[in-house]
């Protein structure tokens, strides 16, 4: 899975915000504000990856246990799926 083309992460006034660009703005109106860990997940999803790979990279980056990392990643991925932002 990875982020669909047509969505960009921007830093606006110190906030990480996902905005639709190009034709994606026809079907997705608005923006999504991300916290630091969600922005990290977003960058991982710029390339084809799996939840397991994301968990491993998150454990290398943050002081967090595996179960919590997996729960957070799965919740983030579910939100992206609900908004049709992932290519799978």
Q: Domains of the chain by range and CATH?
A: 2-87 (1.10.10)
Closest by CA position to 32, among listed 82, 87, 71, 73: 82
Give the pLDDT score at 47: 98
Q: Tell me the whole-structure pTM to 2 decimals.
A: 0.91
Residue 61 is encoded by which pair of tokens?
A: 């980056």
- In this structure, how many other beta carbons lie within 10 angstroms of the beta carbon of residue 64? 15
pLDDT-above-90 percentage for the chain: 81
Give the tens place of pLDDT for each residue, 10-47. Answer: 999 999 999 888 887 777 878 899 999 999 999 999 99
Does residue 7 register a pLDDT over 90? Answer: yes
């Amino acid at each position: 899975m990875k982020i669909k083309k047509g969505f960009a992460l921007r830093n606006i006034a110190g906030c990480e915000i996902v905005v639709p660009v190009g034709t994606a703005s026809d079907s997705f109106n608005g923006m999504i504000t991300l916290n630091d860990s969600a922005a990290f997940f977003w960058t991982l999803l710029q390339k084809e990856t799996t939840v397991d790979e994301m968990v491993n990279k998150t454990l290398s980056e943050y002081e967090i246990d595996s179960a919590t990392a997996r729960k957070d990643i799965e919740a983030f991925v579910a939100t992206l799926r609900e908004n049709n932002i992932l290519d799978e």
